[in-house]
Structure 1
Amino acid sequence: MNKKVIVIGGGIIGLCTAYYLHKAGHQVTIIDKSTMDFGASYVNAGYLSPSHIIPIAAPGVMKKGLKWMFDSSSPLFIKPRFNLNFLRWSLAFNNSCSQKNVYRGVPAIKDIAVLGRDLYSEIKNEEKFKFQLEQKGLLMICQTDKMLEEETGVAEIAKKEGLPIQELTPNDLKELEPNVSINAKGAILYKCDAHTTPGMFMEEMKTYLQNAGVVFRKNETVKDIKFKNDTIISLKTTNTTYSADEFVLAAGSWSHLLSKKIGLKLLLEAGKGYRINSERKLGIKYPAILAEAKVAITPMHGFTRFAGTMEIAGINHNVNPIRIEAIANATKRYYPEITLTPEEKKTAASGLRPVSPDGLPYIGKSQKCNNLTIATGHAMMGWSMGTATGKLVSEIISDKKTSLSLDAYHPDRKF
């Protein structure tokens, strides 16, 4: 049965959800509080990364977070706040920083990331999109023996999961990147990964959806939800009131605020990331993560992007110059010949990534509401998992067997 569906949120998750719902024959409206042309879906590193199999909540991460709490230039910065939601999330995050969470998370992350990567290619071919999509792989570049040993251990886990990897010496790196100097002890090449230019995909997808009849309601904030007998009756925005058969909550870092309106305490924190673009020809051919610094470098269509950091400091788009300098300084340490200019740093932007306590997304229906499907909490993997999440949500609403088991992503799971 074709349904009337409202998708709350116009980022990568919301657009991909609308795409697959439309393909399934449903009538779709997207509501977003912004102009839908900025934020995490536009400033991310563009990676399609099955290699990122270790969830953010892993052994030792909370300890590092506490150590880095007083260093605003650190890769992970958690700003302490006397806020009940933050305290609940912090406790759940601490509980999730375990080997048990890693064992549970690895296959769940790999499966949805592999599906997501393949669906980008499928969409591009089917819709004749022109967005950049290259599967060169992803380099994890290490400057210390300790980090190289750690990344080799992760690579062994990836190999057991069937992901192709290659260990590289400094000479191997030079062969791959002959046009740029790299200061490193070695690297891991994940051949399974691909990369894109996010803005290109977002613009093509928005154009496609609008031409296909999907309704866009921009600059509308959801103010209230009328809820009765575990069912959403209507949704009120700053402009009007909407009714529908089904609703999708894909509002990213704002999702937990809306979930409260149906009595669901969705544990979620905004993880801010930053990006700097350079339109100069820098000679970088391969996407890379600077392992110790947690900085990502991506050769995109017409420019190179430098992105990174995870800042848990509430919902805001403020650009912290200390974080920008940290990205620039890390780039210089690994690529000695590359200096990001003051002009490039001035154009830096930020985006908010919704982070669940265990690093896995929320995908599915809560027992609290029978006509709301939740799709958020993807942390740093929103771009990788966007297409797959959209397909899974469409399958849920269409009452079809889902492409993947949703058990690991259940929104009612305990931490």
Structure 2
Amino acid sequence: MNKNVIIIGAGIIGLSTAYYLVKEGHQVSIIDKSNFSSGASYVNAGYITPSHFIPLAAPGMINKGIKWMFNPTSPFYIKPRLNADFLNWTWAFKKSATASKVEKAIPVIKAINLLSRDLYEDIKESNTFNFHYERKGLLMCYQSDKVGEAEWKIGKRGIEEGLGVKNLTKKEVDVLEPNANLNIKGAIYFDSDAHMTPTDFMPEMVKFLKTKGVIFYANEDVKDIEVTNRTVSKIITNKQKLKADEVVLAAGSWSPLLTKKLGLQIPIQAGKGYRINVNRETGITIPAILCEAKVAVTPMQGFTRFAGTMEMAGINHNINPMRVQTIANAAKNYYTNLNITVAEKRSADCGLRPCSPDGLPYIGKSSKCNNLTIATGHAMMGWSLGPATGKLVSEIISEKKTTLDLSSFNPDRRF
């Protein structure tokens, strides 16, 4: 049975969900507080990352977080604050950061990443879109032996998981990247990864969805959600009231503001990430993570993007110049003769990534509301997991057997 579906949120998760719902014959509307041209989906590193199978909530991250808490230029910065949601999230993160829970998460994260990569390639091969997509793998570049050993340990685990991984010397990296002038000791290379230019893909998807009859409500803020007999009966925005058979919540870091109205406890904290675009030749052709600095480098269509940091300081889009400078310093440190200009730093932007305590997204229906599907909490893998999440949500709403087991993504899970 075809349904009338409203999606709250027009990031990569929301648009991907609309794409697969339309393919199933549903009527779709999308509400977003923006004009469909900004947000985390436009400023991310554009990675599709089967290599990133270790969740953020891993053993040792608590100690690192405490150490970095007092350093606003650190890769993972948590602003301490007396806020109940933040404190509850932190406690849940601590309980999730165990070796046994990470072991359970690894195959789950790997599987959904591989599914999403295959779906991106299906979309590309459909010849319906014109967007940049390359599968050149990912270099985990390191400057110290200690970090190199730690990255190779993850790489060997990747091999156990069936991924293609190599431990490359500096000379071997230079063969792959002869014009990048990398200042490193070596790199762990994952051949499983791909990359894109988000600002190519997002407008293409919006354009396509409009041709398929999807209704876009731009610059609308959802003020309230009415529930009658455990069913969402009305969505109230700053402009109108809407009804639907099914509702998808894909509002990213803003999702908890809406779930609270429904009495749902879905812990999410916004993790701010920054990006700098360099619109000139850099010689960089393969995506890389600068390991010690935790900075992502992506050769996109016509420019190179440097992205990084995880700043948990609530919902805001304030640009911290120190964090921008930290990314610029990393670029100069790892790529000889690459200096990011003052103008490039001034044009830096940021986005908010919705982080769950255990590093797994929330995908599925809550037991408290029978026509609401949650699709959020993807943290740094939002771009990577867009199509997979969209397909899974479409299968849920279409009442089909889901491609993946969704138990690990249950929105009602407890920490």
Tell me if TM exceeds 0.5. yes
Q: Relative to structure 2, which stretch is displaced further, 69-78 or 94-103?
A: 94-103
CA drift of 1:287 comes to 0.5
Q: What is the 5 A alignment of 1:16-35?
A: 16-35=16-35
Measure the CA separation in 2 of the matches of 1:163 and 1:177. 22
CA drift of 1:156 comes to 1.1
CA drift of 1:229 comes to 1.7
1:367 lines up with 2:361 in the alignment: no
- How high is the TM-score relative to the length of structure 1? 0.99
Q: What is the 5 A alignment of 1:4-43?
A: 4-43=4-43
Measure the CA separation in 2 of the matches of 1:245 and 1:312. 35
Measure the CA separation in 1 of the matches of 2:168 and 2:14. 38
Measure the CA separation in 2 of the matches of 1:337 and 1:285. 16
Q: What is the 5 A alignment of 1:187-206?
A: 187-206=187-206
- The equivalent of 1:279 in structure 2 is 279
8 Å contact kept, 1:116–1:384 = yes
1:263 lines up with 2:263 in the alignment: yes
Measure the CA separation in 2 of the matches of 1:36 and 1:269. 23
3-state SS, counterpart of residue 51 of structure 2: coil
How many residues align? The count is 415
Measure the CA separation in 1 of the matches of 2:81 and 2:122. 43
Measure the CA separation in 2 of the matches of 1:246 and 1:127. 30
Measure the CA separation in 1 of the matches of 2:321 and 2:96. 31
Q: What is the 5 A alignment of 1:39-78?
A: 39-78=39-78
Structure 2 residue identity aligned to 1:239: K
8 Å contact kept, 1:5–1:248 = yes
- The equivalent of 1:298 in structure 2 is 298
Q: Deviations over 1:243-295 (max 9, x none)?
A: 11000000000001100111101100000000000111011111000011100
3-state SS, counterpart of residue 265 of structure 1: coil
Q: Which runs of 4+ in 1 moved over 2 A?
A: none
Measure the CA separation in 2 of the matches of 1:282 and 1:83. 43
Identity rate, percent: 60
Q: What is the 5 A alignment of 1:332-347?
A: 332-347=332-347
Structure 2 residue identity aligned to 1:245: D
Q: Cα RMSD over matched residues?
A: 0.7
Q: What is the 5 A alignment of 1:41-190?
A: 41-190=41-190
8 Å contact kept, 1:89–1:267 = yes
Measure the CA separation in 1 of the matches of 2:380 and 2:94. 18
Q: Deviations over 1:133-169 (max 9, x none)?
A: 1001000001111110100010111111111111100
Structure 1 residue identity aligned to 2:31: I
CA drift of 1:180 comes to 2.2
Measure the CA separation in 2 of the matches of 1:105 and 1:198. 27
Measure the CA separation in 1 of the matches of 2:116 and 2:212. 22
Measure the CA separation in 2 of the matches of 1:398 and 1:392. 10
- How high is the TM-score relative to the length of structure 2? 0.99
8 Å contact kept, 1:180–1:337 = no
CA drift of 1:71 comes to 0.4
Measure the CA separation in 2 of the matches of 1:25 and 1:100. 41
Measure the CA separation in 1 of the matches of 2:288 and 2:180. 13
CA drift of 1:322 comes to 0.5
Q: Which runs of 5+ in 1 are unaligned?
A: none
Q: What is the 5 A alignment of 1:229-240?
A: 229-240=229-240
3-state SS, counterpart of residue 350 of structure 1: strand
CA drift of 1:127 comes to 4.3
Structure 2 residue identity aligned to 1:7: I
Q: Which runs of 5+ in 2 are unaligned?
A: none
Measure the CA separation in 1 of the matches of 2:127 and 2:383. 19
Q: Relative to structure 2, which stretch is displaced further, 262-271 or 180-189?
A: 180-189
Measure the CA separation in 2 of the matches of 1:282 and 1:189. 20
- The equivalent of 2:212 in structure 1 is 212
Structure 2 residue identity aligned to 1:4: N
3-state SS, counterpart of residue 402 of structure 1: coil
